[in-house]
Amino acid sequence: MTRDEITRRLLRVFHDVFDDESISLGDSTTSADVDGWDSVSNIRLMVSIEETFGIRFDVGEYQEYRNVGELIGGIARRAN
């Protein structure tokens, strides 16, 4: 799976979890950039990502990713 494919699928997850089609993602996007992205929604987001990509993160990883670019890297490592 290419980085672009991951990004497109990830964007759909963000739109669904936050119920906001106006969200756009870049490598430097953080929780501060997305309205409503707090600790509770982060869990929903990560579970949705796991389901969408058929992967599993360790619980500690949920807080390790500092931005979307790092999250995409984590997905890429597991999805291949």
More confident residue, 59 or 50: 50
Q: Which fold has domain 3-79?
A: 1.10.1200
Contact 6, 78 (CB under 8 A): no
pLDDT number for residue 28: 98
Tens-digit pLDDT profile for residues 24-43: 999 999 999 999 999 899 98
- Distance, in Å, from the CA atom of 72 to the CA atom of 6, rounded to the nearest integer, reads 7
User: Has residue 56 got a pLDDT over 90?
Assistant: yes
pTM, entire model: 0.92
Per-domain residue ranges of the chain? 3-79
- Distance, in Å, from the CA atom of 8 to the CA atom of 48, rounded to the nearest integer, reads 14
Q: Which residue has the tokens 């759909």?
A: 12
